Structures are given as C-alpha cells and as structure tokens.
C-alpha cells in the first residue's frame, strides 16, 4: 500500500443528503421586452443619429441571457438608423488576443448570426488620459472611433475588492474596454486601490469617449435576470452603487456556517473570474474583500469544459486531484495572474490520485474534533446552489431552516455522479 493511501485509509467519508436551498428569487419573464422597456424609460435612443456607427461592448462573463440582451440592444440601435457592431470588452481574457476574444464571445452565444451585428475584435487601444498618480487610461480603438458606445454587463460583487462600484458597468468601461493594456494599468497598484481607481478611470473615459449608456442586469440567486436597467452615461457614477446593493441582496449563499470541508465539483472562468466565487466560498485571494462562510478546507474535483484549461482560482483550494492537475493549461492562468498581479490564484494545491483520496485528505486536515461528524458540503459549482449535498451531521440544521427542503435520504458519497 502506498504511503498516502495508508495515511488516509481510516478516514471516514460521511453519508450525504441532497437538499434544496430555496431563495427569494424574482425573475423577469420576458427578457427581450424588459430590455426595450429599460432603454425606453431611460430615453437614451434619441442620442443615436441615423448612420451612426455604434459600438456595443460585450464581456466574457457568463451573464444570463447575454445573447438576448445583446440582440435586443442591436435591434434598438437599428431602429434609430444606427449601424451597430460588437466589441469584445474583456480586458486580457481570451488569451489577450483578438481571435481569442472573438472565440470567447462565440462560446457565450454572441455571434453575428445570433445577435444581428458583426463582431469587430482587436487588442489595439487608444490612451485617453492618466490619473494624477500617472496610471494611463485606455479604451478599445474600434470603440473609440465609433460615433457612439453602449456597454452591457451584469452588476455584482467583485471577488477581490469592496467599493461603491465593483463588477459592473463602470468596471466594464475601465477594464473591459481597456483591453490588455487597460486591465494591466488598472491592476498595477493592486486591488488595494481598485475601489478608487475604477470610478476615477471610468470618469476619464466617459469624458473622452462617446459612451451614451450602459445596460445593466441584476441576477437572482439562480442566475436568472431579476432586473434590467439602462443607465445614461452621466448617471452611472450615482446610479450604479445602488444597483450593486440590490445585486448583493440577490446573491445566493450556502445556508450553513463553520464548514469543515467544501467539495466543489468544478471551477472555471465561465463560473467566476476566480474559478469559484469567493463570495460563496469565503476564500479570497486578496485581503481587500470579505464575506461568506468560514471554510476550513476546499477540495476541487474538476475544471469546466468552457474554461479550456484555465484553472485560475485553483490556488484557493487546499486539495485537488491528479486529473485536474493534468487538465490545467498553466499559461492561461498565469496570464490572468500577471495581469491582475494576484498570484495566489494559480498556486498548486496538494493533488491526490483520485477524488476519494482528495476528499479524505481534506477531512483529515480540517481539524474536526470528530472526523465521523465532519461538516461537509458538496456543490457542483459556485453558480448552481439550489441543489447541493450536505453531510449527515448537518441534517438537523437543515431541518430547522424553513428555506431548506430535504430531497433524499442519507447515502454514501458517490463520486460517479455530480453534485446536482
């Protein structure tokens, strides 16, 4: 018997129970209609003249119904006689290449055939100013040369800093439209100053580029659109902070605290910029963000197909498997780390031969007083939190929570099925 197997052979795996976490989750029934209502109520279409070339900035995140949001904005622009085109607005993502960023949009369903406007992708940028501290500010050249610009993004808490605005429209303007150079500049002084730099840099871009409005979506706890709003450019600084507070209130969570072991079936850039959302796991790569549960050990069992080997965030895990290690395309994650200046996300955790040994290693090292009563939760990923698995030791807490529904009887942990 190998030494690792010998060390872990007596570690008990808990019996698991499937539960449903029920969140208050309003959802928009007709997303296309909601887009047009939002744009109409904001009165922003009058800013587009017939013949205007209109750049629509679209990012790399898995925003709910992104193709629909984009398609309907395209239709709205065309209704005025404008000539829309899509610009990838994703900083250094997609390997920091024009082709790679086009491929990212294709994977998200944003193609000319799907949305009715061509995708014009380039990493060329224009410097539009500097901050007082000397940081340069950039914007995509194709967008800058357009007559008008519209940005589309989901508004949500960031994974590495806290501020009046975090992930959303102003960050899209600063980092997404800034491409590789803009992202690098925004991250240069670390996330410690990001809450200050994002709005300051966005204000410079707004003063220099023809941005007319942003279309923001807020998603419910099941990652479905709960609210869609069009914000005129001049109102972004005052309106977006309130939208962020709404988004935070809609975030899902794990309905348990003091977790010994959190098992995550898959991580990936299509799930979170950090592979797994630290707002859910409570495990952050910087000291400038906080929140979420106390978790002693995190185990990652796989990478998503759409992440294409980018395992940014794997460094936040304590344990993973040989299969995950072999699936990693290190250059992709390193590119993210070099741009963000956060290196902890790409460090290598302990990796074991298989999933069972990985989970046992986490249980053995979590310092639970009684390993047979380990407080263990298994999720598919940090986006899908309606149905999760909990160890039998958490069953009584679950029964006492009116927002939790017990779905199954206790059964042995099964690594042949995923946690959903």
pLDDT of residue 376: 99
CB within 8 Å of 46: residues ≥ 6 apart: none
φ and ψ at 73, to 5 degrees? -65, -40
* Bridge partners, 287 (sequence order): none
* Alpha helices in 109-188, H assignment, sequence order: 112-115, 141-144, 169-171, 179-187
Instruction: Specify the length of the chain in residues.
Output: 420
Q: What is the mean pLDDT of each run of 10 residues along the chain (420 residues)?
A: 91 98 96 98 98 96 93 99 97 85 93 98 96 95 98 96 96 94 88 94 98 98 96 98 97 97 95 94 96 97 93 98 97 88 96 97 97 98 96 98 97 79
CA-closest candidate to residue 143, choices 218, 53, 48: 53
φ and ψ at 129, to 5 degrees? 165, -175
Orientation of helix 330-340 relative to helix 179-187, angle to 10°: 60
The second-level CATH assignment, the architecture, of 43-250 is 3-Layer(aba) Sandwich (3.40)
pLDDT of residue 274: 93
Burial class (CB in 10 A: 0-12, 13-18, 19+), 396: exposed
pTM equals: 0.88
Stretch(es) of the chain classified as CATH 3.40.50.11440 = 43-250
CA–CA gap between residue 55 and residue 60 (Å, rounded): 16
Q: What is the DSSP string of 372-416?
A: GG--EEEES-SS--SEEEEEGGGHHHHHT-TTEEE-S--EE--TT
pLDDT of residue 419: 57
Each residue of 88-126: pLDDT tens digit? 999 877 778 999 999 999 999 999 999 999 999 999 999
- Alpha carbon distances (Å) from 392 to 41, 402, 403: 51, 18, 18
Whether residue 213 contacts residue 44, with contact meaning beta carbons closer than 8 Å, is answered with: yes
Q: Residue 114 CA to chain centroid, in angstroms?
A: 23
* Bridge partners, 379 (sequence order): 264
Whether residue 377 contacts residue 394, with contact meaning beta carbons closer than 8 Å, is answered with: yes
pLDDT of residue 193: 93
Each residue of 264-307: pLDDT tens digit? 999 998 889 899 999 999 999 999 999 999 999 999 999 999 89
């Amino acid at each position: 018997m190998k030494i690792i197997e010998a060390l872990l052979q007596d570690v008990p795996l808990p019996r698991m129970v499937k539960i449903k976490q029920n969140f208050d989750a309003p959802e928009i029934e007709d997303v296309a209609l909601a887009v047009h209502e939002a744009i109409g109520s904001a009165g922003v279409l009058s800013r587009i003249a017939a013949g205007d070339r209109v750049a629509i900035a679209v990012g790399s995140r898995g925003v709910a119904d992104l193709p629909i949001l984009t398609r309907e904005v395209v239709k709205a622009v065309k209704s005025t006689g404008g000539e829309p085109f899509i610009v990838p607005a994703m900083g250094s993502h997609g390997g920091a290449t024009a082709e790679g960023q086009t491929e990212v949009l294709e994977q998200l369903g944003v193609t000319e055939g799907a949305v009715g406007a061509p995708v014009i992708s380039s990493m060329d940028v224009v410097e539009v100013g500097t901050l007082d501290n000397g940081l340069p500010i950039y914007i995509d050249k194709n967008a800058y040369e357009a007559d008008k610009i519209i940005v589309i993004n989901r508004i949500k808490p960031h994974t590495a800093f806290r501020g009046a605005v975090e992930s959303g429209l102003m960050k899209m303007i600063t980092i997404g439209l800034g491409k590789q150079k803009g992202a690098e500049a925004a991250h240069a002084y670390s996330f410690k100053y990001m809450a200050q730099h994002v709005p300051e840099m966005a204000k410079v871009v707004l003063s220099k580029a023809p941005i007319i409005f942003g279309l923001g979506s807020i998603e419910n706890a099941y990652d479905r659109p709960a609210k869609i709003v069009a914000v005129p450019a001049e109102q972004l600084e005052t309106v977006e902070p309130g939208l962020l507070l709404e988004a935070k209130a809609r975030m899902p969570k794990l309905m348990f605290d003091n977790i010994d072991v959190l098992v995550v079936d898959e991580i990936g850039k299509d799930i979170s910029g950090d592979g797994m959302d630290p707002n859910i796991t409570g495990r952050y790569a910087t000291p400038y963000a906080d929140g979420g549960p106390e978790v002693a050990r995190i185990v990652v069992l796989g990478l998503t197909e759409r992440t294409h080997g980018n395992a940014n965030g794997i460094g936040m895990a304590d344990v993973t498997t040989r299969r995950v290690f072999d699936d990693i395309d290190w250059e992709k994650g390193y590119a993210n780390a070099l741009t963000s200046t956060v290196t902890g996300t790409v460090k290598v955790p302990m990796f074991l031969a298989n999933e069972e040994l990985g989970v046992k290693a986490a249980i053995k090292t979590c310092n639970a007083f009684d390993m047979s009563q380990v407080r263990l939760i298994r999720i598919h990923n940090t986006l899908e939190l309606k149905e999760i698995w909990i160890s039998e030791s958490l069953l009584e807490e679950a029964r006492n929570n009116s927002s939790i529904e017990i779905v199954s009887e206790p059964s042995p942990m099964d690594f042949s099925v995923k946690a959903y």
